């Protein structure tokens, strides 16, 4: 079974990508709705909450756990990976998004948008800096410095959850957030939040055709295929009966309603105490 963990229902954008690509796997999705949103919390609190939720998924017998939440990936992935030491395998969403951005960026001008927590953590900057230089795909010898421009967008999560997507207010707020990134002439923009794929079309339209927009949800799933190739034993261990369980630590009705919108299908949600 694969466990997918998020602060709430946003991680269903990651689940949706998984279901498209690997419909036969058994999945358990856990959203910590009782403590959502994670974005405004301190690093210490996100770490403590993530540990508790991951412990729960490990007890359920997950062989692979995906930390779908960017904020939890930024603040707590290393800690949970160190605790479990590969048993089970625990992966986040930041490294896959960084790799996709790095590969596709033409000039190394990369923007990142996310919650306050993600931007404050500097996790995307750190991962991008590891690459140091960007080899332009057109000229293997051309080295370009990677420059990262980050922007916290704290108003987007509540707007998206309320379903206020194609509203003039949302467009105005979005335009304000994206303006500094447009002015910096970024050629690639990472959507470093579970929720932003719901605004991806609008964001891509505003950024214009010279900017590639990368969803961390999609990148996380794209990265798993080579991972499975490199780790065939893990692939064998994951049960494949097409099972799905949706668990939340609070408000199952709200979770089912909004989560259903994120996933694009009706879901049954169970409340769990962890």
Q: Which active-site residues does the annotation give? A: 69, 193
193 binds ligand DGL (CB under 6 A): yes
Contact (Cβ atoms closer than 8 angstroms) between residue 260 and residue 253: no
Sequential DSSP letters for the chain: -EEEEESSSTTHHHHHHHHHH-TTS-EEEEE-GGG---TTS-HHHHHHHHHHHHHHHHHTT-SEEEE--HHHHHHHHHHHHHHHTTSSEEE-SHHHHHHHHHHH-SSSEEEEEE-HHHHHHTHHHHHHHHH-EEE-TT-TT-EEE-EEEEEE-TTHHHHHHTT--SSHHHHHHHHHHHHHHHHTT-SEEEEESTTGGGGHHHHHHHH-TTSEEEEHHHHHHHTHHHHHHH-HHHHHHS--S--EEEEESS-HHHHHHHHHHHHTS---EEE---
User: How big is the site for ligand DGL, counted in residues (CB under 6 A)?
Assistant: 18
39 binds ligand DGL (CB under 6 A): yes
Segment 133 to 172, residues that bind ligand DGL, using CB under 6 A: 157
Please identify, among the stretches 7-15, 84-92, 131-139, 162-170, the one whose residues bind ligand DGL according to the rule CB under 6 A.
7-15
Question: What's the min distance (Å) between Cβ of 53 and ligand DGL?
Answer: 12
Please identify, among the stretches 59-67, 193-201, 218-226, 230-238, the one whose residues bind ligand DGL according to the rule CB under 6 A.
193-201
16 binds ligand DGL (CB under 6 A): no
In degrees, rounded to 5, the angle at the alpha carbon of residue 218 between the alpha carbons of residues 217 and 224 is 100
96 binds ligand DGL (CB under 6 A): no
Question: What's the min distance (Å) between Cβ of 9 and ligand DGL?
Answer: 9
What the block records as the tokens of 186 is 């970024």
Among 3, 8, 111, 197, binds ligand DGL (CB under 6 A): 8
How close are the terminal C-alpha atoms of the chain, in Å? 19
Site string for ligand DGL, 41-80 (x = CB under 6 A): ----------------------------xxx---------
**Which residue number, 48 or 235, has a Cβ lying nearer to ligand DGL?**
48
**Which residue number, 50 or 70, has a Cβ lying nearer to ligand DGL?**
70
Question: What's the min distance (Å) between Cβ of 135 and ligand DGL?
Answer: 29
CA distances from 187 to 123, 171, 251, 257 (A): 20, 21, 40, 36
Please identify, among the stretches 55-63, 132-140, 190-198, 249-257, the one whose residues bind ligand DGL according to the rule CB under 6 A.
190-198
**Which residue number, 160 or 238, has a Cβ lying nearer to ligand DGL?**
160
Among 1, 2, 7, 213, binds ligand DGL (CB under 6 A): 7
194 binds ligand DGL (CB under 6 A): yes
Residues binding ligand DGL (CB under 6 A):
6-8, 10, 36-39, 69-71, 114-115, 118, 157, 193-195
């Amino acid at each position: 079974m694969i466990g997918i963990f998020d602060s709430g229902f946003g991680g269903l954008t990651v689940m949706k990508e998984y279901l498209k690509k690997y419909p036969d796997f058994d999945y358990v999705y856990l959203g910590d709705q009782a403590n959502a949103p994670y974005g405004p919390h301190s690093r210490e609190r996100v770490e403590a909450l993530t540990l508790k939720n991951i412990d729960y998924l490990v007890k359920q017998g997950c062989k692979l756990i995906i930390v779908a939440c960017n904020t939890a990936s930024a603040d707590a992935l290393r800690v949970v990976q160190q605790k479990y030491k590969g048993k089970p395998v625990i992966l986040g969403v930041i490294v896959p998004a960084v790799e996709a951005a790095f590969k596709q960026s033409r000039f190394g001008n990369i923007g990142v948008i996310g919650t306050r927590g993600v931007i404050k953590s500097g996790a995307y900057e750190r991962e991008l800096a590891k690459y140091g230089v960007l080899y332009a795909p057109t000229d293997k010898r051309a080295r370009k410095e990677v420059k990262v421009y980050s922007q916290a967008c704290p108003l987007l999560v509540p707007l998206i959850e309320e379903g206020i997507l194609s509203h003039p207010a949302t467009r105005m707020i979005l335009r304000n957030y994206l303006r500094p990134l447009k002015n910096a002439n970024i050629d690639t923009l990472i959507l470093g939040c579970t929720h932003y794929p719901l605004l991806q079309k609008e964001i891509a339209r505003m950024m214009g055709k010279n900017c590639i927009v990368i969803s961390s949800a999609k990148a996380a799933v794209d990265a798993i295929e080579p991972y499975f190739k490199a780790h065939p034993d893990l692939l064998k261990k994951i049960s494949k009966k097409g099972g799905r369980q949706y668990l939340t630590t609070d408000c199952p009705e709200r979770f089912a309603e909004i989560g259903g919108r994120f996933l694009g299908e009706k879901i049954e949600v169970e409340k769990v105490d962890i």
